[in-house]
Structure 1
Amino acid sequence: MHDLIALTALGGTGPESCTVGSVSCRECPDIALASVAARLGHEAETRAALATLTGHTAPDIEQTSGQTVKAFWTGPDQWMLEAPFETHEDLASVVKRHVKDAASVSEQTDAWTRFDLEAPDVQAVLELLCNLDCRKMAPGAAARTSIHHLGCFVLCRSANVFSIYGPRSSARSLQHAIIAAMNSAL
């Protein structure tokens, strides 16, 4: 029998975090993810299923919605769903049961890594990382952008908290870019 140990995207047994000035960056490995793409002709059915699952209407372009299970828009009739891993380890299976044959669902938990940035002026860091106008992003906004040559999603959780999703395979490179921006901005 193997004694396997779960590792975070950065290779540790627990999440890494760092603080530069007033900005904190925290690795968030405890999130389950699943992608949903509505099948042609089943867009309304998929949106209805997502509304049932999240407790809110499916998010529109560059928006997020939901309670425990949250969704953010990733493309036309496509969404990423996130939920606490502790209670939703099987998120993709749960989503598939809700959408049935109306959408394609894919497990994404180990494909992405999430970093949460928090500070009174976190936008100064984000301005150095990507070409989004983060100062105009209201809570509940989400956008796809490039950070350090990586396709990423940036979600505005509140005026002082933003989440960045990037490819898990490039987690260390993404973290390096974030910390470099934190050092440069402050």
Structure 2
Amino acid sequence: MARLIEKTPCEALLPVTCGALSLREVVGDRITSVAPFRGQATKLAAALKKLGLSWPEPNSANAKNGASIVWTGRDQAFLIGADPDSLAGHAALTDQSDGWARIRLEGPGAADVLARLVPVDLRGFEPGQALRSQLGHMMMVLTAPAPGAFEIMVFRSMATTAVHELHHAMKAFAARSAV
């Protein structure tokens, strides 16, 4: 019988650093897609409140006590780092934990590195904001967990490409900064 070995999406790829910039994998948190059932918004809001969270407005995220909820599209969000059982009956819940790679880019110039790959101006992108956009040719979900830091979520199958593209942009930024 085949023996399967669990690996993270970015295993053996990260961490990497370029000057003061670092790129590392974020692992361990459960990710659940939440899509409210019709007519259940009020009950879902009450269930989220018990977790210390609220339904995110478009292009936003909120976090408390190690859990967060990130807007990912119309009537859809990702609940990260929390048990979704209390939301059952109010929303369609789908475990996405193994389907995504989570990468954290931080340090001075992180927004400039992303400017090489993301078609959105990220100057002033702050904690509490979220967006769905492209990272090169890949779809991503982007949040700012702290000032000067970005969390990038890409499909697990794109992890190697995302790390390659981000590391390449980090090196280019570092080289330009050194001139």
**Distance in 1 between the 2:3 and 2:155 partners?**
27
Name the structure 2 match of 1:137: 125
Is 1:166 aligned with 2:154? yes
Contact conserved, 2:44 with 2:87, CA < 8 A, in 1?
yes
Q: 1:24 aligns with which of 22, 25, 28?
A: 22
TM-score (norm 1): 0.86
**Distance in 2 between the 1:29 and 1:111 partners?**
12
Contact conserved, 2:53 with 2:69, CA < 8 A, in 1?
no
**Distance in 1 between the 2:28 and 2:89 partners?**
28
Name the structure 2 match of 1:175: 163
In the alignment, residue 152 of structure 1 is paired with which amino acid? M
Contact conserved, 1:43 with 1:77, CA < 8 A, in 2?
no
Name the structure 2 match of 1:116: 104
Q: For 2:123, what is the secondary structure of its paired residue?
A: helix
Map Cα deviations across residues 130-162 of structure 1 (whole Å, 9 max, x no partner). 012211212111100011211101101122111
Name the structure 2 match of 1:5: 5
Contact conserved, 1:154 with 1:164, CA < 8 A, in 2?
yes
Name the structure 1 match of 2:94: 106
Name the structure 1 match of 2:44: 46
TM-score (norm 2): 0.89
**Distance in 2 between the 1:72 and 1:182 partners?**
26
Is 1:148 aligned with 2:120? no
**Distance in 2 between the 1:120 and 1:166 partners?**
23
Tell me which moved more, 160-169 or 58-67.
58-67
Displacement of 1:4 in angstroms is 4.0
Structure 2 residue runs of 5 or longer lacking an equivalent are 175-179
In the alignment, residue 30 of structure 1 is paired with which amino acid? G
Name the structure 2 match of 1:184: 172
Give the paired residue count: 173
**Distance in 2 between the 1:59 and 1:100 partners?**
18
**Distance in 2 between the 1:100 and 1:134 partners?**
35
**Distance in 1 between the 2:140 and 2:49 partners?**
25
Map Cα deviations across residues 74-123 of structure 1 (whole Å, 9 max, x no partner). 1222110111xxxxxxx5xx31x212221100000100001100102211
**Distance in 2 between the 1:41 and 1:101 partners?**
11
**Distance in 1 between the 2:134 and 2:111 partners?**
16
Contact conserved, 2:61 with 2:129, CA < 8 A, in 1?
yes
Sequence identity (%): 29
Name the structure 1 match of 2:177: none
Q: For 1:151, what is the secondary structure of its paired residue?
A: strand
**Distance in 2 between the 1:109 and 1:143 partners?**
19
